[in-house]
Amino acid sequence: MTALQRYELSGAPGSPYTRKMIGVLRYRRLPFSVYWGNTRIPEGYPEATPRLLPTFYFPDGDDGALVPVTDSTPLIRRIEQEHSGRSVIPTDPVLNFLNSLIEDFGDEWLTKAMFHFRWAHEADWRNAAPLLVYWNTNMAADEQAHEFADYFAKRQIERLYVVGSNEVTAQTIEDSYQRLIGILDALLARQGFVLGARPSSADFALFGQLTQLAIVEPTSAAITQNASYRVRAWVDLMEDLSGLEPTEDDWFTAEEAQDALAPLLAEIGRTYAPAMIANAAAIEAGQDTFETEIDGRAWTQPVFKYQAKCLHWLRQDHANLSDNERGAVDSLLSGSGCETLFE
């Protein structure tokens, strides 16, 4: 594994995970080059299978050949190993674990809201579809761009069921988003970030989704701004935190975390936890879909194998804690609903 002096990645402005990773790189003050859209990737660069955004290019192959690498969470941990200083991972094991849990909530539950708001409401998909086309290539002819936007929107609307979005679950998703904005408003008012006075990978996961939800999608953008100018402004500030000078004392203490994070952990336990548990159980049983209840309403969707891996990794992290650390984590999670993830 080679520590790069400049990172190369392809991505899109409409990709929450691209925005998550660019935010991390800027905060870490690490040089990078981003290739927007699939028309600007240098000739000969390998393509990830499946093609996911962002795709990083590392010289990990034979004789330094470029290898495409995706998945923001392990990418952040790899970059942590390659470059010291300005870490987005708390050093305290208990806070580190909570960071991983909140990051996964952002990546795997809040993304449902992003996909839902983008494609479930006509005003939103009519806004998003042409943007996605022009973000990929802003020189496309108007007629061709509009035709592809209509085609892409139709395809994505037909795929809403994949993230669990339908007429029954829509209220569950939208209510959860409304609550989350209120929770974040109160949390950010304390010290500016989710885990204290410096950003964590959990902050960047939430930020990535909010670059779309709070700005691009008209319906959720209105919800965000009406509920919290603070959260809306925070999204802009998170874009570039290269000027922030963090210290180790900027992380929450255990006592501060217990008080500050209780509402957020309760939201995670209310929504993300039952979805992740039901998904993993269905996969283990060999089923193609799972059914559960989230926030008092029925929830049905196709299984998602990657999310079962995410839960497995979290459970491994929980098991790898020392007895004292695990006890502290369990105490923080008790009564939130999150404890069910580790029973």
**Do 73 and 136 have their domain in common?**
no
**For the chain, what is the mean pLDDT?**
97
Q: pLDDT band at 206, cuts 50/70/90?
A: very high
**Do 108 and 149 have their domain in common?**
yes
Whole-structure pTM value: 0.98
Q: Is residue 106 part of a domain?
A: yes
Asked if the model's pLDDT at residue 265 lies above 80, the reply is: yes
Q: Give the separation between CA 67 and CA 60, rounded to whole angstroms.
A: 6
Q: Is residue 71 part of a domain?
A: yes
- Quote the tokens at residue 70: 């995706």
Supply the range of the domain harboring residue 18: 7-82
Q: Is residue 87 part of a domain?
A: no
CATH number of the domain encompassing residue 59: 3.40.30.10
**Do 27 and 104 have their domain in common?**
no
**Do 18 and 152 have their domain in common?**
no
Q: Choose the final residue of a domain: 82, 111, 140.
A: 82
Average pLDDT (105-122) is 98
DSSP of 152-190: HHHHHHHTGGGGT-STTTHHHHHHHHHHHHHHHHHHHHH
Average pLDDT (178-187) is 98
Q: pLDDT band at 2, cuts 50/70/90?
A: low
pLDDT digits (tens, 9 = 90+) for 41-65: 999 999 999 999 999 999 999 999 9
**Do 293 and 203 have their domain in common?**
yes
Q: Give the separation between CA 48 and CA 68, rounded to whole angstroms.
A: 5
pLDDT value at position 38? 86
pLDDT value at position 4? 86
Q: Choose the final residue of a domain: 58, 82, 106.
A: 82
Q: Choose the final residue of a domain: 22, 50, 82.
A: 82
pLDDT value at position 1? 58
**Do 75 and 97 have their domain in common?**
no
Secondary element (H or E) of residue 35:
strand 32-36
**Do 278 and 297 have their domain in common?**
yes
For 138, half-sphere exposure in the C-beta direction (CA atoms, 13 angstrom radius) is: 5
